[in-house]
Amino acid sequence: MGVAMAVFVIFSLVLMILMPAHNIVLIVLNGGMNPPIQVISLTIIVLIGCLFVYLGLPVCLSLLRGVTCVFDREATTIILQKVERLRLVSSEYPFYGVSHTQIETNAETRTCAVYLVLRSGQRILLTTAPVHDSEILENVTRQIRDFLRA
Distance CA 23, CA 97 (A): 59
Q: What is the pLDDT of residue 64?
A: 59
Residue 86 clears pLDDT 70, i.e. is over it: no
Instruction: Supply φ then ψ for residue 117, to 5 degrees.
Output: -100, 120
Residue 37 clears pLDDT 80, i.e. is over it: no
More confident position, 131 or 41? 131
Residue 43: which pLDDT band, with cuts at 50, 70 and 90? confident
Residue 141 clears pLDDT 80, i.e. is over it: yes
Residue 129: which pLDDT band, with cuts at 50, 70 and 90? confident
The arithmetic mean of pLDDT across residues 88-95, rounded, is 87
Distance CA 118, CA 115 (A): 9
Residue 42 clears pLDDT 80, i.e. is over it: no
- Neighbouring C-alpha atoms within 13 Å toward the C-beta of 87: 2
Instruction: Report helix, strand and coil shares of the chain as percent, to nearest 5.
Output: 55, 30, 15
pTM to 2 decimal places = 0.56
3-state secondary structure of 107: coil
More confident position, 57 or 48? 48
- Neighbouring C-alpha atoms within 13 Å toward the C-beta of 53: 14
- pLDDT single digits (tens) 55-85: 777 766 666 556 788 888 888 899 988 877 6
3-state secondary structure of 23: helix
